[in-house]
Amino acid sequence: MEEKDLQIEKIRMAWYEAFKMMQKYYESESFKSFKIEYDASTWYQFNNPALIYPAEREMRFSTPNSHINFDYYPSLLAKFGIIGHNFAYLADIEEYYSYNFSVFLWEQKEYITPLQRANLRAAHFSPDAVVEVTREGLRSFLKARGEEKGIGSFEEPLVIIETLGLMGMPRRDNIPNFFKEMSEDKESAFDKFLETPYIFSFAGLATPPALNEDKNYGIRRRDELTHVKSLVNRYVRDDMAYGEMSTELEKLGYTTKIEDSSYKPEDSVDLRWVKLDYAMERVKKVISEYEHKAAHSGFYCYADMADALMRIYEKERTACRSYI
């Protein structure tokens, strides 16, 4: 076996270890028939480091390859997060689509809500892994573009704000101004960051499919989120004033807060396949970590993450009590 093949096999085994780790917290009989395989074409076709193929019963990873010469998600924790995210799609398809893949794929193409719900489901049992996916994804995205030094002290709050957006949970930081400050301090890396298709920090709240078009829950359409990125680009370069940007965002229905106090974004996903005892223990531990960070930071994002996870924890605790 050649050195490259040995490297890929080692990475495949790490993905398999992450797969087994996930099943301690999140498990379905259907998972047992899945295989973890290497397929570089997943990157060449979709620019994606790892995708799930439900019909083929495979989860395929695609790096390293001739375009990306490194493991995009090098840590076991990030692999755990990606595995959890990908297999959470199966729960979404079962809950909302009765395994009608074509309708699911249409929603995935038009809206970011399936992506948000997958991350939100994964956060019910591995929130630290979901954050690590964002962190390593950001680092690898910049590394692939020659910016290995990254964005310095802005990395941690950016990762948390982006993850909250990827989960569709509330955020309170002034996101336009945060990006302006980051662009002024780390201009080169920020320019590379703007090559990403979407800035999820501006995404709305997680909702079931029936609420996709409801502007009360913020921006979820992919084309609108792409437009937001162009607004950010203009704002940070002083081609647009803050007030003008705010007006344009308002037209799109921008909000990252819960406008209706009765709405619970965490309830846009159910608890199927979650092993509550193990999941609650992990979530509770991560909550305490973010409460500590919140007490020592000027950003709201750490407290927002702690609040988001507390909402999830209370939901799980209520469900757990109902089983007694």
Each residue of 277-313: pLDDT tens digit?
Answer: 999 999 999 999 999 999 999 999 999 999 999 999 9
Confidence tier at 49 by pLDDT (50, 70, 90): very high
On whether the pTM is more than 0.95, the answer is yes
Confidence tier at 101 by pLDDT (50, 70, 90): confident
Q: What's the confidence (pLDDT) of residue 283?
A: 98
Is residue 40 scored above 70 in pLDDT? Answer: yes
Is residue 260 scored above 90 in pLDDT? Answer: no
Neighbours of 97 (CB within 10 A): 17
Contact 87, 26 (CB under 8 A): yes
Q: What's the confidence (pLDDT) of residue 259?
A: 86
Q: What integer is the mean pLDDT of 51-75?
A: 96
User: What is the β-pairing status of strands 35-38 and 58-61?
Assistant: parallel
* pLDDT tens track for 117-148: 999 999 999 999 999 999 999 999 999 999 99
Is residue 324 scored above 60 in pLDDT? Answer: no
Q: What's the confidence (pLDDT) of residue 1?
A: 61
Q: What integer is the mean pLDDT of 93-112?
A: 92
Q: What's the confidence (pLDDT) of residue 202?
A: 98
Taking Cα atoms as reference points, which of 100, 133, 136 lies closest to residue 115? 133
Confidence tier at 99 by pLDDT (50, 70, 90): confident
Q: What integer is the mean pLDDT of 167-192?
A: 96
Across-strand partners of 274?
26
Residues 6+ apart with CB under 8 A from 195: 141, 145
Mean pLDDT of the chain: 96
